[in-house]
């Protein structure tokens, strides 16, 4: 596996590699199960209310990601996966 990731917007004539530094926000230790999905559905109303009254401002997209990432990070669940 190569540690070099080619930048997708590099000009074709530019053959120098672009090194991407990736940041991991939490370690994935579990995969989503039906019970995790059920727990997520149950937890979201309370999490959404807590986020609403926190006084923080969100776009719709940021609000949805905040709730998902908060739930997933506490349980070591991935938010997005890649299959190679």
Asked whether residue 29 is assigned to any structural domain, the reply reads no
Domain that holds residue 38: 34-75
pLDDT in tens, 59-77: 999 999 999 999 999 999 9
Asked whether residue 12 is assigned to any structural domain, the reply reads no
Asked whether residue 55 is assigned to any structural domain, the reply reads yes
Asked whether residue 27 is assigned to any structural domain, the reply reads no
Torsion of CA 8, 10, 12, 15, to 10 degrees: -110
The whole model's pTM is what? Answer: 0.66
Q: What angle do CA 54, 75, 45 make, to 5 degrees?
A: 40
Helix axes 60-75 and 34-53, enclosed angle (nearest 10): 130
Q: What is the number of structural domains in the chain?
A: 1
pLDDT confidence band for 84 (50 / 70 / 90): very low
pLDDT in tens, 23-62: 778 889 999 999 999 999 999 999 999 998 998 898 999 9
- Between residues 80 and 26, which one has the greater pLDDT? 26
């Amino acid at each position: 596996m190569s540690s070099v990731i080619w930048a997708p917007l590099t000009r074709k004539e530019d053959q120098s590699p672009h090194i991407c530094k990736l940041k991991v926000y939490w370690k994935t230790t579990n995969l989503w199960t039906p019970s995790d999905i059920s727990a997520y559905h149950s937890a979201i109303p309370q999490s959404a209310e807590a986020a609403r009254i926190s006084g923080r401002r969100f776009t719709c997209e940021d609000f949805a990601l905040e709730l998902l990432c908060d739930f997933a990070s506490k349980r070591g669940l991935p938010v997005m996966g890649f299959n190679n």
